Amino acid sequence: MRAMILAAGRGERLRPLTDEVPKSLVEVRGETLLERHLRNVRAAGIRTVVINLGWLGDKIVERVGSGEQYGLDVIYSQEGDNILETGGGIHKALPYLGDEPFLVVNADIYTDMPVPRVELGAGHLGHLVLVPTPDYREHGDFDIEEGLIRNGEHAQHTFSGVAIYRPAFFDGCEAGRFPLAPLLREAADHGQLSGSLYEGLWADVGTPERLAAL
């Protein structure tokens, strides 16, 4: 399995910190978010990691390099000033991710979650890891019913930013900027996403307050 770490975002809500430092290189407890993810995927036996680059991407390349220091082969998917959002960013990186299901991790989360070990079932295009909805959110994203991700008016759980996708999940998508959420909603409606709930340490490092709390 290969992995992709989403690291292109601007990190607007963390400004002014992210005026000089890409969000993925923000340090929590003495380690950058990105490097924590790199060590985690390496510990799971993954060798090839794709990182998409946008805002201050050159600083990520300077820090991570070829990935050799982490025991990894790192490939960069350059987005430049035209940041493609989550869906567009993954779609652009597909040529680097191979023909098998691949892992995707949002760089701006802090967690002790192990890399999910999941065999996608027949007819399943992906697997999402959900977490209990944090207090600062008014509602969740999805429910889990009999192992499947479901949309619901009063969803109980939040998407963790950790998922596994088949390349076919993105069939029919066109190159360019587009969000991931509508694709997830449609796949959930068709019963094409399995899911699991992780109740351990997880935080979205999205604001100075959340960063300070960590």
Sheet of strand 157-165: strand arrangement: 73-78, 48-53, 3-6, 102-106, 157-165, 126-132, 193-197, 148-150, 143-145
Residue with the bigger pLDDT between 2 and 80: it is 2
Q: How confident is the model at residue 214 (pLDDT cuts 50, 70, 90)?
A: confident
Confidence of residue 208 (pLDDT cuts 50, 70, 90): confident
Q: How far is CA 89 from CA 60, 66, 85, in A?
A: 16, 20, 6
Strands 31-32 and 48-53: unpaired
Could you tell me the fold of the domain covering 3-213? Spore Coat Polysaccharide Biosynthesis Protein SpsA; Chain A (3.90.550)
24-45 pLDDT, tens digit each: 999 998 899 999 999 999 999 9
Q: Are 195 and 144 in contact (CB under 8 A)?
A: yes
Which amino acid is it at 169? Answer: F
pLDDT of residue 151: 97
Query: Could you tell me the CA-to-CA distances from 133 to 87, 94, 119, 141, 142 in Å, in that order?
Result: 22, 30, 26, 8, 10
- Please tell me the distance from the alpha carbon of residue 188 to that of residue 194, in angstroms, as a whole number: 9
Q: Where residue 15 falls among pLDDT bands split at 50, 70, 90?
A: confident
Residue 135's pLDDT is 86
Cβ atoms of 50 and 93 closer than 8 Å: yes
Buried b (16+ CB within 10 A) or exposed e, 131-168: beeeeeeeebbbbbeeebbeeeeebebbbbbbbbbbbe
Contact assessment for residue 91 and residue 173, using Cβ atoms and an 8 Å cutoff: yes
pLDDT level of residue 4 (50, 70, 90 thresholds)? very high
- One-letter amino acid identity for 87? G
Q: Above 90 in pLDDT, residue 132?
A: yes
Name which residue leads in pLDDT, 21 or 165.
165
Q: Token digits for 91?
A: 């779609």
> Taking the complete model, does pTM exceed 0.85, yes or no?
yes
